[in-house]
Every structure is written in C-alpha cells, then in structure tokens.
Amino acid sequence: MTQERLWQVLDPPWGDLHALLALLCSSAAAVGLLRWLGRRQVQQKMDEARRSRHLALERMEKAARRLKQENPGTQSSQILSLTMVELAEKLKEGSLSPESVLYSYMDKALEVNQEVNCVTDFIHGCEDQLQELKKQKEKGLLYGIPISIKDHINCKGHISSGGMVKFLGQVKEVDSIIVQVLKHQGGIPFVKTNIPQTMINYDCSNLIFGQTLNPLNPQKSPGGSSGGEGALIAGGGSILGMGSDVGGSIRLPSSFCGLCGLKPTGNRISKQGVVGALMGMQSVTGVLGPMARDVDSLALCMKALLCQEMFQLDPTVPPIPFNDQQLGPSSCRVLRRDGYFQPSPSMIRAVQLTRQLLQDAGHTLAPFAPPKIDYMVDELFTRGIFSDGAAHLVDCFKGDMVDPNLKSQYNTYRLPALLKRILAIILKPIYPRIARDLGALCGVG
C-alpha cells in the first residue's frame, strides 16, 4: 500500500498533470492579458495627448490668422529680424503693437514646428493676455515679447508632461512663479516646447510627442533636455525661451543650435511650479534660465526676472536685483580643460577667443584647474543626482513605455546595486571612468 501511494505521488494521474499545465497556461495568459491591457491604456493616453496637441495647433493657426486680419500691413519679416532689445524698444515706444509681434511669431513657430517637431502646446491664454496688457499702467521690461516655455514648466490650463505618461491629464490650475513674473513684466508665453522623456537625456525625444530635430541640420539632434526650446529659437519661431538645467540642459541645446543660454546660480530663479522625474533632489541644484539669440537678450530677461514680484512670490529666492553696472578691469581665471571631459576644437577656439577679448579689455587672466575633478563629477554630481541608486527614477516608468533613445540608460539604472558594484570592479582596469559611473549609480550607502 505504501509503495502504491509513493508511486501515485511520483507518477500523478494524467488528469492532475493536465490540470496543472492548464493552470500554468491560464496564469501566463492572464499576465499577458494584463500587460496588453496596460500597454493599451498607455497608448490611449498618448494618442489623446497627440490629439490635444493637434487641436491646440489648429487653434493657434486660427488665432494667428485672426490677429493678422485685425492688424493688416504688418511686415512680419521685419519684426522677425529684430533683436530682442530692438523689439522691446519698438513695443514700448508704440511703433509696433503686441498683436502684430505675437502673430508674426505664432506663424513662424507653426512653420518651424512643421519642420522639426518642437512645439507641444499652444498657450491659448496669450490671447487674453493681449487685452490685459492694455490695462497695465506701466509697461514692463518684457512688454509684448512672445516667450516659449519648456514643457515641464507649469502654465495655467495646460499639462506639464515631462515627456511621461504619468503626468498626462494633470491640467495645472495656476502658473509657475517664473511664468507669473514673465507676465507681470509684460511678456507673453505662447507655446510649450518638447523635451526628452524624464529630461535626463541629451537628446530630445519621447514617445508622446516624438523626436525633435535640429533646424540647422535635421540629421542632427538639437540637444537636451531643453531641446524644443533650442530648436524653436534657432529656427526663428521664438525670440526668448525658458529652459532648465542640471547637467547641461540649457547649455547643450544652446551649443548645438548656435544660441546663447544661461544657467543661473542655484536658487537665483524660483523653481516653484515645475514637474520632473527627480523632484526633491537637494544635493545637485537644478535651475531655470533663459535661452535666446544673443547675450543682451539674456541680460534683459534676467533683469526682468530678478524683481520684487519674484522675491514676494517665492521668499526662498534671495532678494538680490540684477546688477547691470559695467565693471572695470578685474582679475579672471581661465579654464581651458577641466581634466575630465575632452573639449571639442570649437570649444577650445571659443575659450581662446574669449581669453583674447578679455585681455584686450584690460582684464588680468590667470589659469585655473579645478581640484579633485573626478571626485566632484563622480561622487558629488552623479552620486548626488542618483543618491537612491536611481530607484525613484526607475519607479517613474511604471505604467509607461521607455523611449528607445533612453533604453540603454534605463536598463543601466534598473540594474541591482550589487550587480552594478560587481560590473564596476570588473570594468575598472579597462574602462575606469565607466566603472566610476556605475559605482556612483549605486547611490549613497
């Protein structure tokens, strides 16, 4: 009897085996169905966001056409050729109207977007703002200047996608503080621009709104993460844009697109009212800043932003106004190479040219070499950004799909910390920099 029972256990009836196989198959099918339903839901959200963008651009086109009919005889090409300082002067003196300037840039932005796919939304409140400008007693420093806004900076009545499905459908009820200040100074935010998924990427692509191209060469990237801003301004569809920067997100698109960009000192500009995949990060300071065609435009924008309105809306911003006094000859430090990144020939030429211009202006120059560069980049910067081992960033992808341009990064981020450490040890003799990066990606502790 005992042998028979043992045999039954070791050799179960075919019916039991079939039942087990059926259970396994049905479980696998259920998991597959849930995954399919999840991906379908994600796809539906992305399709809806694309439809919303299409309708917004149609509304923008109609608004531009209506403003053009109401303001006949405007020479748009002449308006678009002016520098921002020249445009601001003509708007303030009244020789140009805000309506004619706005529709000129709306038309051009639509044209540029057709070529490089850089606009994600039309800020329809700009039409109401034109009426508000007429009621203002004083004309601000940016009176009538059309301004483009990076996707993740909140604008009332619009989403800030961050290039991710998790943020879709979340219509913002109030403007970010930087947008409020721009409006207070008479600026007119009129479009939002594309970014890479998560914004932790030097390209400009996401699965919602697609790939943005470089208007100077469509075979190239405009850079990231403020790539939509770089592409739109370089293409002539905006004269001033608001971007953001942690590790080059203003500076790289400005470089790739032949523009001027400024990463201000940390906490100089309020960051209240933005979304992102790395919210709460304190060890490495992200900043908002301007992008434009020339340095004078950046100076005018910073002077406008650093005002009492900014300091009152966000008490954490030091109340230090913009200092536009020209300083006399001074002592400057010149950094030719930082010892970590290899500069391109164009960068070397730019530093040499700047050095010569400073010398000609009477400044005293001395070489500068940053101390402990490897430690600063790997331990303070990379480990500071990914202090949790990129766990929060990876968690942001739940209920989303990964953009192909980000897949290699994502796969590296989600490796277990132990595996990252083992790979770092193995790669250290061959690729020491990659090994240090992997070690830093393990986070703190």
Query: Which residues belong to the active site?
Result: 150, 225, 249
* Contact assessment for residue 206 and residue 219, using Cβ atoms and an 8 Å cutoff: no
Rg (CA), the chain: 27
Identity of residue 328: G
Beta pairing class for 210-211 and 364-367: unpaired
The span from the CA of 329 to the CA of 335, in Å, is 19
Q: For residue 25, what are its two tokens?
A: 């198959």
The half-sphere exposure of 206 on its side-chain side, counting CA atoms within 13 A, is 33
* Contact assessment for residue 117 and residue 81, using Cβ atoms and an 8 Å cutoff: no
